[in-house]
Amino acid sequence: MKGKRTMLSAVLAVAALGFVATLKSLGDSPTAVSQNRKEDTLMASFNNRFAIGAAIPGAELNEAERRLLFRNFGTVTPENCMKPASLHPAEDRFDFAKADALVEMAHANGLTVNGHTLVWHQQCPDWFFTDDGRPAGRELVLRRMRAHIAAVAGHFAGKMKSWDVVNEAIDDGNDYLRKSKWLTSIGDDFIAEAFIAAQKADPKAELYYNDYNIELQPKRDKTLRLIHDLKQRGAPIHGIGIQGHWQIDHIPFKEIEDAIIAFHSEGMQVMITELDIDVVTRKTAGSEVGNREQDSASPFANGLSDDLQQRLADQYAQLFALFLKHQDKITRITFWGLHDGRSWLNSWPSKRTNHPLLWNRALQPKPALSAVLTLTQLKTEPNAQPPAGGDGKPAPKP
């Protein structure tokens, strides 16, 4: 009975995408689709389409988590252990132990690594920006940033497929760039300087800009402006990471598609770098880590209802139908967490139990996984724009 309900969930997801006619015309029944699967894993199912990745805290995964990771994912992104506060807590001190262990575990099991992140306004020690108790000037901060990138990217040179060089530097409001300490200390060329330094330290790594809500306006146009600015300054940039922290029933499908097309038209690889679907209502559509909310009771502490599981499955299926449609532009899809128990959404923007990923806390697959895998079994790739779930618009800001 449980197996039939899981398959029914997948079939309903396909129906929501408007693929019923395709299935009928091809003579594929849901049962046939299931029986034709050679390997029900994400990595195998999306092979030759785009890479599938997961964010992990480090190598300290238990054996069951490791099996899940190595079976289903081909690439990993470190959640926190490569950020400046973790790697470079003092100007004269580095701590590579945790990051080294992650890279060694990944390589030993055939996974590539995307470094995250060299320059960010969060989780960055104050010493970068001070000089004997006073704000440091441009040249000192620029020298420190270059030295940090040279040391970190240089330490991992040849071991990283790619780096998120700069993270979340575009302003959420009316300004072009976020008024971070990097901007106010160095100036608006700090992003170009970071990319140039990263290429010098690791010439073979692909270099990306990563941010949230850049599928939406006005941040999409600001991202296009940033691409142009970097090119004009001679800074190497290979790709754009759309984070993909979306909310159930408020996923902006059309805007996501428009952004994928726009960024790719500028010669960029496009990645979905931090994918999850928040099932708990929150006030803001963004994922600025500084925007916290008061802790409250968890509405889904005991799990999701069948209806909510189905909505989650439908909307993951709609997303992956869109990704498959643009597989010529997308190079990687990374989930921000291995399973529900490892999701940052259990503690941000407030403490509550969340269920945003494809595996639950017991490491069991959810209906959303079946819905996503079913898409890859169609004899014809999806080529129609999927309808929006819910109202198809981002959640309103307060």
User: Tell me, what's the pLDDT at 94?
Assistant: 98
Write down the pLDDT at residue 38.
39
**Structural domain contains residue 265:** yes
Q: Low-confidence residues of the chain, pLDDT below 50?
A: 1-38, 289, 292, 384-398
Q: What is the DSSP string of 291-324?
A: --------TTTT---HHHHHHHHHHHHHHHHHHH
Distances (CA, A) of 65 to 69, 333, 345, 391: 6, 19, 19, 35
Domain range holding 171? 42-287+300-359
Residue type, position 117, single letter: T
Identify whether the C-beta of residue 153 lies closer than 8 Å to the C-beta of residue 201.
Answer: yes
Q: Answer whether residue 89 is part of any domain.
A: yes
> 79, 193, 206, 274: which one is catalytic?
274
What residues does 54 pair with on adjacent strands?
A: 76, 335
Q: Is 28 a domain residue?
A: no
CATH of the domain at 355: 3.20.20.80
Q: Is 168 a catalytic residue?
A: yes
Non-local CB neighbours of 79 within 8 Å, separated by 6+ positions: 55, 56, 57, 116, 336, 344
Does residue 249 fall inside a structural domain? yes
Sign, CA dihedral 75-256-283-355, equals: negative
C-alpha–C-alpha distance, residues 207 and 161, integer Å: 9
Entry pTM: 0.85
Q: Is 178 within a domain?
A: yes
Answer yes or no: is 100 within a domain: yes
Strands (E) across 143-281 are located at 162-167, 206-211, 239-242, 245-247, 269-278
Q: Express each pLDDT in 317-375 by its tens digit.
A: 999 999 999 999 999 999 999 999 999 999 877 788 999 999 999 999 999 999 999 99
Nearest CA to 280 among 337, 367, 354? 354
Tally of domains within the chain: 1
User: Residue 266 catalytic?
Assistant: no
Q: Are 77 and 334 in contact (CB under 8 A)?
A: yes
313 assigned to some structural domain? yes
From the list 79, 168, 193, 215, the catalytic residue is 168
Is residue 207 in a domain? yes
pLDDT at 296: 61
